[in-house]
């Protein structure tokens, strides 16, 4: 699977962000309906040779990347399936498990995007009822 992080985002100016002080950041508009399905598919690829390669930049100690990969490796098929259920259809007893997987996907995507860009990033996430945490 080609996890092309830059194909999933739309560059925007820092003026379009809801925060000040982002002049030195590369800013993007994020569509959860694109990012979550692609990232959740990537997380299912655990065990493959190149799994998580997009999380390494060759600069830091890799602890953040190793932690994300370890969390992904602890997921199972029921976690994968639950994450794909629209928010409005999730049973209350499953809500925390789903949120855990979606939060992992969000962190995975954010780290991969920052590494792909090579600079600090700012993101503006569009609203989505399906992917609401």
Q: According to the model, what pLDDT value does residue 2 have?
A: 79
Query: Which residues, including other chains, have CB under 8 Å from residue 45's CB and lie 6 or more apart?
Result: 1, 51
**pTM surpassing 0.85?**
yes
Q: According to the model, what pLDDT value does residue 1 have?
A: 57
List average pLDDT for each run of 10 residues in the chain, which is 133 residues long: 89 86 89 96 91 83 87 93 92 94 96 93 91 80
Burial class (CB in 10 A: 0-12, 13-18, 19+), 124: middle
Query: Which residues, including other chains, have CB under 8 Å from residue 33's CB and lie 6 or more apart?
Result: 128, 130, 131
């Amino acid at each position: 699977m080609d996890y092309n992080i830059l194909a999933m985002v739309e560059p925007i100016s820092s003026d379009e962000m809801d925060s000040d002080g982002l002049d030195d950041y590369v800013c993007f508009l994020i569509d959860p309906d694109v990012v979550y399905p692609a990232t959740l598919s990537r997380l299912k690829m655990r065990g493959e040779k190149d799994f998580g390669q997009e999380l390494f930049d060759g600069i830091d100690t890799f602890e953040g990347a190793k932690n994300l990969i370890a969390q992904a490796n602890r997921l199972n098929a029921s976690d994968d399936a639950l994450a794909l259920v629209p928010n409005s259809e999730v049973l209350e007893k499953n809500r925390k498990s789903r949120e855990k997987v979606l939060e992992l996907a969000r962190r995975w995507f954010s780290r991969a995007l920052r590494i792909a860009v090579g600079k600090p990033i700012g993101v503006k996430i569009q609203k989505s009822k399906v992917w609401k945490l």
